[in-house]
Structure 1
């Protein structure tokens, strides 16, 4: 009885070590190979890829005749996607000029409202800034009088 605990622990450990033996390769798991670099020029086009669908629908040239992808060596022509150049064989690079002026009406924010211009007079016809010399008229902002050239003064009656 004294050695029963030690004997059971020893048998349990032996079973664990034998079952975890890595000397044999299982037929269910494939042999691991060293990772190889991916050659994108030989990759088939994927129909599930969102980017390939997007570039497939875009034309090779925009309305101004600018190609989407052009050769970095300056060869004539281009393409709608990054493929090899027909002249020199180099990979075509993205041409940012293709996207120039495609959406000129885009605002920075859809919630942006144009600033309201402050009128020079309120509903009662009182000017915001008036001439201290008593000249007729006034202005909506501080500045100089258009008649005498003196500095316009703030008119407190404008805010009443």
Structure 2
């Protein structure tokens, strides 16, 4: 009986150790030389940066003030100097305000009286006046009651 427990533990340990055996995986590399990167093949990619924005301002201009410009920093076509970056190219020229579907104007504040001069909330005690919101009467301090005649 003593040996049965020992045999069971040894059997269990051998199964665990055999199952966890890790064999190194070999990587098959048929070509050991690095592949060169070809930057000339752009496959349909185009330069989306235009020389001028919608306002007609060049991205790069000549520091001497020559006419024209370019989309990239290079040499001026007129004098040969290096073109300088023109920050005005990035300025927001769209000054028009568009109507956004979420641009809602706040509701006009509702007055306490309707067009007929009837108060929305009135005092049950019969005090003069009323209010546009529920609250207490300014004369006697009682709670104002809703006046259904306001909505007619």
TM-score tier by shorter-chain length is: 0.3 to 0.5
The structure with the largest alpha-carbon Rg is 2
TM-score by length of 2: 0.36
| Structure 1 length-normalised TM | 0.35
